[in-house]
Amino acid sequence: MDKISIFGLIIGIGAILGGQVLEGGRIASLIQPTAMVIVLGGTLGATMLQSPAAVFRRGVRMLAWVFFPPAVDCQRIIGQVVQWSQRSRREGLLALENYLNQIRDPFTRKGLQLLVDGVDAERLREVMEVEIGAYEDEMHEGAKIWEAAGGYAPTIGILGAVLGLIHVMEQLSEPTKLGAGIAVAFVATIYGVGLANLVFLPVANKLKACIARQVTAREMLLDGLMGIAAGDNPRIVESRLEGYLPGADEIRPQH
């Protein structure tokens, strides 16, 4: 579990609520179901309208990554690639076929299969970079629905404020009802801006960071496979892959 995401959310919301109390306001005054329905419903509808169904579902599933990010262990990947490199130098590339049944990750399996099939290093790069690019684009499309929600929410919040003010104008003859309308108007704006900057945009950026780590891990694996295909010494392969470690921490293999 990514505890910093939980702490960040608690601190952000807590600071706003704490500021409201310190200013002498009541937290209950920020609880306006009507404003929440307007902002969440409007944002959800706009986001769904702009996104294909498959992309929208993928983006919603990716929300779990904020608290349980997919991880890859770089050290384990390096150890695995070095093991393959050592065995291929002793017994040839065909000896790596024995590892195929042990690998569940499709990307890793495909790369190793190409290696076993005798594909040269450059052709291996061409094929696997297409896989990496397609994966990165697919995941970024899912992350972008949260970025889009962060763009729509403040505008929908302003729309909620306008609706609240319209309601206030309709109730000018009944002063006792003016307070509720004004509250909805201002709280809708708070919900829109708050959700965008405390939830939607941070979620989008966190997902992009998770995607970047996974792409880095795949590029590292590809680099190792290319070294094996080129017949590089296992120590050289290991040394080159270790260069990825500073920018690819908290990574665990996907197989």
Rounded-to-integer distance, Cα 253 and Cα 247, Å: 16
Q: State the DSSP code for 231.
A: T
Condensed to tens digits (0 to 9), the pLDDT of residues 22-80 reads 877 777 778 888 889 999 999 999 999 999 999 999 999 999 999 998 877 888 889 99
The DSSP line for 19-62 is HHHHTT--GGGG--HHHHHHHHHHHHHHHHHHS-HHHHHHHHHH
Query: How long, in residues, is the chain?
Result: 255
Q: 5-9, 108-112, 156-160, 249-253: which has the minimum mean pLDDT?
A: 249-253
Residue with tokens 């979620």: 203
Buried b (16+ CB within 10 A) or exposed e, 191-211: bbebbbebbbbbbbebbbebb
Rounded-to-integer distance, Cα 56 and Cα 60, Å: 6
Rounded-to-integer distance, Cα 107 and Cα 249, Å: 20
Tokens (6 digits) for 30? 């920020």
Specify the pTM: 0.83
